[in-house]
Amino acid sequence: MRYAFGVELPEKLYFEGNQLAKDGLILDYRKSKAEAIAKYLQARKLFVQILNRYPTWQTESGLVQKKLEELDARLKPLLLTEGISPDSILGSPGKLQAKVAPPLPSAVPASPAKGMSLDEEIAALQALKAKGETKLPAGFGKSNPSTVAGSSPKIAKPSKPLSLSQTEQLARMQLEKEQAERSLQDEQQKRLNMEASYKARLRAALAARPKSLEPGEMAKQVSANQALQKNYEFLKVQSKRGESDLLDALDELEKARKENEFLRAKFRELQTENQKLRRALLTPR
């Protein structure tokens, strides 16, 4: 099928939408919900344009319809966490229809559907969320492309249960690997920070200790203590010897005192006897 000059081909739109969906998936895994919603909505708008402008492109495989359903499945929980009703943006599930559009003229480019731009829709959604609204007005941000009279809408075939494509699985595995590497780097950084903190504390403790606790001073102090201990032991032995000599001297002193008392008693007896003899000599017979 040929398309007019200047018209975006469905392959290009699909490629851009698929790339936006991958970017949204990466942001979703990184917990950047608002940015992920914006990427998903941009991708969804491109896929809707493909269905509206090129309804016969890849209809047998239902490729675009499957992508839309995958995006809706990812958008619903994100919109709910942001307090936005998914039905007000995505519509009722299972009712998205691919409209049959007339073939484009060979010289006239197809004009895009009228409606708000994606930035305007996001700004309006944020304003409604700030007001506490959970539902959007009917027809919010939706385009009304005209269809050919007498053309019947073509309902997309039901798709298989949603599953991640190989590219998305690789992207998720890459994200998980990056997260594991970041976690390992964070743990290593924490360990290095703790080691640096312990070293700083040790240096501060060593700087605050007194000079006498330094290794050289400690050795000198130990030597001095050993010398004092030897002197103490020597004086202790000498003290015991002096104590023994003192006891002996006290015994000798006690003996001398007793002998002195004995001699004093003898001296008094001799004095008494001497006085008796003198009186006897002086008394005439």
Tens digit of each residue's pLDDT (9 = 90 or more) over 80-112? 887 777 777 776 544 444 343 344 443 333 334
Q: Worst-scoring range by mean pLDDT, 128-142, 168-182, 232-246?
A: 128-142
Q: Report how far residue 164's alpha carbon sits from residue 70's, in angstroms, rounded to the nearest whole number.
A: 8
Average pLDDT over residues 267-281: 90
Band (pLDDT 50/70/90 cuts) for residue 142 is low
Q: Tell me: do 141 and 182 sit in the same domain.
A: no
pLDDT at 148: 38
C-alpha 126/C-alpha 132 separation (Å) is 10
The more confident residue out of 250 and 150 is: 250
Among the candidates 179, 208, 237, a domain finishes at 208
> Which two structure tokens, joined as six digits, stand for 244?
């023994």
In a domain, 213, yes or no: no
Choose between 198 and 115: higher pLDDT: 198
Task: Say what the pLDDT of residue 105 is.
Answer: 41
Report helix, strand or coil for 154: strand
3 state DSSP class of 251? helix
Tell whether 3 is covered by a domain: no
- Cα–Cα distance measured from residue 249 to residue 170, given in angstroms and rounded to the nearest whole number: 106
Same domain, 116 and 256: no
Tell me the residue range of the domain where 270 lies.
Answer: 218-282
Total domains in the fold of the chain: 3
Q: How many whole angstroms separate alpha carbon 147 and alpha carbon 47? A: 18
Confidence of residue 123 (pLDDT cuts 50, 70, 90): low
CA distance 136 to 89: 7
Q: By C-alpha distance, which of 102, 199, 222 is closest to 151?
A: 102
User: Do 159 and 173 belong together in one domain?
Assistant: no
Q: What is the reported pTM?
A: 0.35
Identify the top-confidence range among 138-152, 188-202, 218-232: 188-202
- Which of 26-40, 87-101, 116-130 comes out lowest in average pLDDT? 87-101
Same domain membership, residue 261 and residue 126? no
Helix axes 63-81, 33-53, angle to 10 degrees: 150
- Tell whether 111 and 181 lie within a shared domain: no
Arithmetic mean of pLDDT over the chain: 75
**Nearest Cα residue to 66 out of 21, 12, 110, 121:** 21
**Contact yes or no for 85/134 (Cβ under 8 A):** yes
Verify that 23 and 137 share a domain, yes or no.
yes
Mention every residue, 6+ apart, whose C-beta is less than 8 A from residue 271: none
* Percentage of the chain modeled with pLDDT above 90: 13
For 98, phi and psi rounded to 5 degrees?
-90, 115
Residue 2 lies in a domain: no
